[in-house]
């Protein structure tokens, strides 16, 4: 299947509803690790020097719905790279897709941004944008699906060496356009951090367990910006 494009920013902006790792500006090889990508939104929380030297995946934690009532899908992530609220944000993104929950989906984005972003993707509104995402996933999976397990396999911050191969500058331009249309002169200066997480979403299909990544060949890329201290999905 032809790989889906992610974001193409020019005078006219075209946005695919799903962003996969192939949407990077150029392909990374296996040696292009983000060696200094430890993300600490709360400095001092994880001060173990040996932990800081370990790559992503060394300190994986699992969020279970029975322990975290704000989520409905089991989600694994490295606690040094993502905060709990960011992991929950990713979990609820896939939960919104599972249930066609437009209200939940809108809540994951900065106020008004989901509608703006939906129109860039040639969707009428947020609800139709959500349906578009699910339709693209159904086309990839070739069946109905319900995601029930998420592995956040990697996280890159915009200050990491590997960030150059991702689309932070393009997204910044989209957010600036959104802010300009709203007349919000402070939004760009209110961005505290920028990250992209690579997610493997598992589902059961015809009594077999598989993942979107296995079928498509790539993890799904979700961009998370923290604005005025709160985490939001921006693509």
C-alpha dist (Å) from residue 105 to 91, 96, 108, 114:
11, 5, 6, 8
Instruction: Identify the burial level of 142 via C-beta atoms within 10 angstroms of its C-beta, where 0-12 means exposed, 13-18 middle and 19 or more buried.
Output: exposed
Q: Residues 51-104: pLDDT tens digits?
A: 777 777 778 999 999 999 999 999 999 998 999 999 999 999 999 999 999 999
Lowest mean pLDDT among 28-32, 160-164, 191-195: 28-32
What's the confidence (pLDDT) of residue 106? Answer: 98
pLDDT of res. 6: 47
Please write the tens of the pLDDT for every residue from 18-37.
576 555 554 433 333 333 33
Rg of the chain on CA atoms, in Å: 17
Residue 40 reports pLDDT greater than 90: no
Structure token pair of residue 76: 């694994």
Task: Record the tokens describing residue 9, joined without a space.
Answer: 């920013």
pTM: 0.81
**Residue 154: pLDDT band with limits 50, 70, 90:** very high
Percent of the chain with pLDDT over 90: 68
Averaged pLDDT score across all residues of the chain: 83
Question: Checking phi first, is residue 35 left (phi over 0); if not, alpha (psi -120 to 50) or beta?
Answer: alpha
Q: Lowest-confidence range among 40-49, 143-152, 197-206? A: 40-49
pLDDT for res 100 = 97
Distance CA 175, CA 170 (A): 9
Cα separation, 153 vs 198, in Å, equals 6
pLDDT on residue 3: 33
Say how far apart CA 163 and CA 170 lie, in whole Å: 12
Instruction: With beta carbons less than 8 A apart as the criterion, state whether 77 and 152 touch.
Output: yes
| Mean pLDDT computed over 26-51 | 42
* Residue with token string 């150029």: 26
Place of tokens 């957010």: 175
pLDDT for 108 equals: 98
Rounded CA-CA distance 105/98 in Å is: 11
């Amino acid at each position: 299947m032809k790989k889906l494009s992610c974001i193409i920013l020019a005078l006219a902006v075209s946005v695919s509803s799903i962003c996969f790792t192939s949407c990077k500006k150029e392909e990374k090889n296996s040696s292009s690790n983000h060696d200094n990508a430890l993300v600490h939104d709360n400095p001092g929380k994880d001060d173990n020097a040996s932990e800081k030297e370990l790559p992503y995946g060394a300190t994986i934690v699992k969020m279970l719905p029975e322990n975290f009532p704000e989520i409905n899908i089991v989600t694994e992530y490295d606690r040094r790279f993502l905060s709990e609220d960011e992991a929950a944000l990713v979990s609820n993104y896939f939960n919104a897709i599972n249930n066609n929950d437009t209200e939940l989906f809108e809540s994951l984005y900065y106020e008004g941004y989901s509608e703006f972003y939906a129109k860039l993707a040639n969707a009428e509104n947020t609800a139709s944008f959500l349906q578009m995402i699910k339709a693209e996933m159904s086309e990839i999976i070739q069946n109905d699906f319900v995601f029930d397990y998420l592995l956040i396999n990697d996280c890159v911050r915009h200050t990491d060496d590997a960030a150059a191969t991702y689309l932070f500058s393009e997204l910044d331009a989209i957010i600036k356009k959104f802010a300009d249309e709203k007349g919000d002169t402070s939004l760009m200066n209110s961005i505290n951090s920028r990250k992209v997480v690579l997610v493997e979403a598992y589902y059961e299909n015809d009594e077999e367990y598989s993942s979107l990544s296995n079928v498509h060949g790539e993890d799904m890329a979700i961009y998370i910006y923290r604005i005025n201290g709160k985490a939001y999905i921006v693509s």
